[in-house]
């Protein structure tokens, strides 16, 4: 993952090491009351029969062109902030920019408040060639405002809390690597003044530790934590005889790829710090396909980095992880019998261990594609590595890692939808993850449910992995490159795939122009629909397939309201809930039903609100009858109401306007209705 946001992130390809809490993000100006599952992209006169809209394709910017666009955005940041109705104390900092052939510019901003970084305040602004702002995608819709910038607790208390959290992960550090700094935390709930503390050292498995802990500067409560080292396990099977790009100086050859941003590969020789020694020798034949030659692992790592670079360049026009033409670097032979590999934003580098007994270096296409894609995510959406956004972060690496494997077209490691299929970390010959049916690994989610964000991110990633497989290949039994798949759907209805190439384009455009640090699955659906609409048209088969694939993993509805064996009606428009104030409502109009509502009417509720016990939630029928879904509870301090209630509404006529009514009955905590859905079996 890369250092694009004000913090670093982490990730393992295995489940074992990181847990987190859920964050939720909303794509502003695209959410709307939706019953059919369509996002509010502008309709088109006719579908483009599967061809990409050329105007929506990103230009290949030179580093100087990109730098100039960022300079222009920063020069106009005060005007942009005013246009976005940001507060007087808020400022924007342009972090990235993408320009389409039709002149549309997608500018990604970080935000500050009175000079302090706002974590969770990032946003993307889409500007048309005319200069008109078309869309804004915000990580938070909350107003950034705090009563005081003076902490009530000492920084030492925040550091102690962070050290305690790091100790639980195995770190033996007695001091923070980065002393607590004041920030505004806007990742969830009401923005508050907070401390961010970073603790280093090593985790219990030998992985470097970069634990970020957010502490409320007024109460001392821990608000959030995430890892800054993204780790993973790749194939220990090598890629056969491949061509490497190296550099010759006199009679010496080095693993220095001048064709790909000067990517270099180093030998750590079982060390755990520093860069190591650049691989160099007097001939240009590297390794002998066994661990008896240290250069074998170097050759695999160098090859994996090259294929990943080429995949991004030739598939999306992206020049390197940061899209600035600069290569990362790789380090092999990390530690002693280290059974993992990781991406580190700090060094902008990939690091590989040698596996159990130092017998199988974890250097292959899977690990290179997956881990280096974490760097791309960090330099674009910056998805928080926890909760649903963390699952999307992991899935993005699985998706693009799979893309790298298919792109390489290597006969020794053919493309498939299995993650880590070449290694046997479980000791039973099975892959780490299955994209066609994620639950086959024993822990991943096939479909979305209200608690999916509480899973480890390698398990919650299953929802997006399954979506991507269905969008690419469709449901049901099939054989691809000799591997058998049989992908189910949560609603029992079939999905027709549009092909992996189109699915990759849709996911990449959503990641780079729609997603923010707090994007959750509902917002990911909105973002991918918007991306599909821009690329292929909102009346296209590709747009419909995105709707169907998300519905098949229980995110949103199928076109026309179908799904789940019945009909769903949904409202995704945000409704702010006033603090200790009057009740607010969100409406859904049901039509096309006959007779009364069922005895098991499903009411799926997604409310973002700190201290959820403050809330009373009711379903109001068309005739005004009230069905209480959730009562007030002064002792329930957990965040958010994200669950599905079953209501016996058989005495109510089905057709008409139903309302979700929410009232906050205590002070100090705020939030909003993110979405809700009625499903008639």
Pairing of strands 575-577, 349-353: unpaired
Show the tokens assigned to 80.
């942009």
Q: Which of 212, 333, 374, 458 is catalytic?
A: 458
Q: 388 an active-site residue?
A: no
Active-site residue, 458 included: yes
- The total number of residues shown for the chain amounts to 681
How far apart CA 105 and CA 472 sit, in angstroms, is 28
Residue 437 CB neighbour total at 10 angstroms: 18
Helix, strand, or coil here: 668?
coil
Is residue 226 within 8 Å of residue 9, measured between CB atoms? Answer: yes
- Interatomic CA distance for residues 123 and 121, integer angstroms: 7
Cite the DSSP H helix spans in 107-258.
155-168
Q: Catalytic residue among 90, 371, 473, 570, which?
A: 371
Contact 222, 237 (CB under 8 A): no
CA 3 centroid distance within chain: 15
570 token code pair: 């949904």
What distance, in Å, lies between the first and last C-alpha atoms of the chain? 42
Radius of gyration of the chain (CA): 25
Tokens encoding 404: 């790298």
Tell me the DSSP string of 397-416.
HHHHHHHHHHHHTBTTB---
Residue 257 DSSP SS3: strand
Cβ contact 26:574 at 8 Å: yes
Dist. CA 326–CA 244, nearest whole Å: 18
Catalytic sites, residue numbers: 371, 458
């Amino acid at each position: 993952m890369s250092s694009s946001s004000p913090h670093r992130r982490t990730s393992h390809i295995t489940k074992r090491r990181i847990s987190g809490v859920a964050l939720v993000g909303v794509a502003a100006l695209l959410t709307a009351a939706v019953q059919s599952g369509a996002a509010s992209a502008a309709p088109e006169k006719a579908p483009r029969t599967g061809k990409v809209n050329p105007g929506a394709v990103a230009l290949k910017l030179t580093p100087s062109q990109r730098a100039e666009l960022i300079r222009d955005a920063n020069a106009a940041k005060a005007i942009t902030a005013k246009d976005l109705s940001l507060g007087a104390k808020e400022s924007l900092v342009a972090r990235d920019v993408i320009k389409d052939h039709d002149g549309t510019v997608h500018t990604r901003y970080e935000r500050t408040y009175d000079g302090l970084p706002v974590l969770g305040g990032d946003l993307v602004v889409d500007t048309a060639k005319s200069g008109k702002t078309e869309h804004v995608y915000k990580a938070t819709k909350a107003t950034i405002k705090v009563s005081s910038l003076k902490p009530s607790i000492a920084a030492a208390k925040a550091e102690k809390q962070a050290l305690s959290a790091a100790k639980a992960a195995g770190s033996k550090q007695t001091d923070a690597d980065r002393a607590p700094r004041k920030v505004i935390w806007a990742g969830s709930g009401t923005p508050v003044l907070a401390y961010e503390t970073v603790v280093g050292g090593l985790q219990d498995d030998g992985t470097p530790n970069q634990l970020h802990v957010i502490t409320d500067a007024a109460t001392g409560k821990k608000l959030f934590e995430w890892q800054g080292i993204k780790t993973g396990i790749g194939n220990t099977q090598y890629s056969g005889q491949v061509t490497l790009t190296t550099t010759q100086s006199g009679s010496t050859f080095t693993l220095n790829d001048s064709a790909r941003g000067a990517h270099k590969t180093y030998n750590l020789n079982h060390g755990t710090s520093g860069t190591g020694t650049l691989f160099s020798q007097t001939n240009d034949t590297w390794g002998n396909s066994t661990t008896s030659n240290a250069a074998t692992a170097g050759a695999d790592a160098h090859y994996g980095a090259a294929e990943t670079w080429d995949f991004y360049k030739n598939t999306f026009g992206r020049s390197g992880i940061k899209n600035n033409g600069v290569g990362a670097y790789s380090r092999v032979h990390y530690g002693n019998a280290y059974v993992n590999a990781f991406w580190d934003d700090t060094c902008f580098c990939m690091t590989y261990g040698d596996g159990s007994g130092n017998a199988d270096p974890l250097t292959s296409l899977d690990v290179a594609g997956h881990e280096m894609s974490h760097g791309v995510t960090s330099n674009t959406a910056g998805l928080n590595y926890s909760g649903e956004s963390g699952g999307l972060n992991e899935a993005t690496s699985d998706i693009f890692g799979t893309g790298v494997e298919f792109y390489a077209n290597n006969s020794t490691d053919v493309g498939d939808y299995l993650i880590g299929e070449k290694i046997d970390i479980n000791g039973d010959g099975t892959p780490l993850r299955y994209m066609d049916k994620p639950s086959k690994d024993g822990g991943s989610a096939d479909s979305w449910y209200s608690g999916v964000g509480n899973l480890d991110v390698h398990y919650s990633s299953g929802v997006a992995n399954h979506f991507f497989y269905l969008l690419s290949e469709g449901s049901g039994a099939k054989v691809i490159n000799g591997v058998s798949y049989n992908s189910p759907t949560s609603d029992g209805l079939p999905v027709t795939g549009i092909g992996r190439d189109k699915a990759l384009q849709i996911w990449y455009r959503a990641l780079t122009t729609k997603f923010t640090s707090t994007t959750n699955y509902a917002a990911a659906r909105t973002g991918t629909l918007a991306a599909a609409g821009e690329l292929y048209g909102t009346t296209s088969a590709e747009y419909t397939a995105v709707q169907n694939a998300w519905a098949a993993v229980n995110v949103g509805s199928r076109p026309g309201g179908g799904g789940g064996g019945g009909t769903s009606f949904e409202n995704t428009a945000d409704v702010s809930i006033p603090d200790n104030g009057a009740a607010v409502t969100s409406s859904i109009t049901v039509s096309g039903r006959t007779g009364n509502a069922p005895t098991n009417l499903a009411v799926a509720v997604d409310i973002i609100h700190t201290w959820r016990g403050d809330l009373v939630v009711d379903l109001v029928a068309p005739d005004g009858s009230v069905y209480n879904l959730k009562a007030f509870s002064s002792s329930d301090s957990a965040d958010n109401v994200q669950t599905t209630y079953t209501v016996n509404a058989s005495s109510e006529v089905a057709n008409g306007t139903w309302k979700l009514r929410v009232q906050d009955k205590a002070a100090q905590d705020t939030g909003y209705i993110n979405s809700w859905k009625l499903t008639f079996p």
